[in-house]
A and B are shown apart, each in its own frame.
Chain A
């Protein structure tokens, strides 16, 4: 069964510093996609970045990058130059290929607090 682990319930980072949020996953499907979402206190889920299992390069989107280590089944999110608006819950998620096409499983989340 697929599973997502986020071992950091809460993280603090100084404004303008970089921070890494950890995510490990477990799946036996060779085809899968990994996502990171941000959820501010308002409740909306905001898509940040995507990494496909066959992608050769790490995904980047502005200040967000995904450190994908396939052999370790790790997909850590790196946020560079943290801003106060980055304070939120961050969820790692995975979608397997095949018949579980749109069944996306989420990790427990990491609460990030950016300190001025």
Chain B
């Protein structure tokens, strides 16, 4: 069974630009969560989607948004990038109450 796939692995963007990250969950997993990991703030919950609906949202500005498609694949978008958005963005999927299964992450650098 294929694991959680995140693309791209690395991204370099300039301040003010926008970026879209993609996540394909494990087959059969309908819940997809996104996390931001930085050295200073650790792992912070961004949002969680289930059956194309956002069920939970963390404390991030509206520049951070996401969506989930009917095949459970999810995208995360960050608009008007700031230097502080440089981070490792992790996507995780789960089935029912199973543990989160993470992808390898997308490392975003904003210059």
Contact = CB atoms under 8 A, between A and B. Distances in A.
A104 B42 CA distance: 13
Interface of B: 31, 33, 35, 42-43, 45, 48, 50, 55-56, 58, 88, 90, 92, 94, 97, 99-105, 107
Consensus secondary structure, chain B interface: strand
A102 B102 CA distance: 13
B88 A43 contact: yes
Given A100-B56, A101-B55, A106 B43 contact: yes
A103 B56 contact: yes
27 contacts: A35-B100, A37-B102, A42-B104, A43-B104, A43-B105, A44-B104, A45-B90, A45-B92, A45-B102, A46-B102, A47-B99, A47-B102, A100-B56, A101-B31, A101-B50, A101-B97, A102-B33, A102-B55, A102-B56, A103-B33, A104-B33, A104-B45, A104-B100, A106-B35, A106-B43, A109-B42, A109-B43
A108 B92 contact: no
A50 B99 contact: yes
Nearest to B93: A102
Contacts of B31: 101-102
Contacts of B56: 99-103
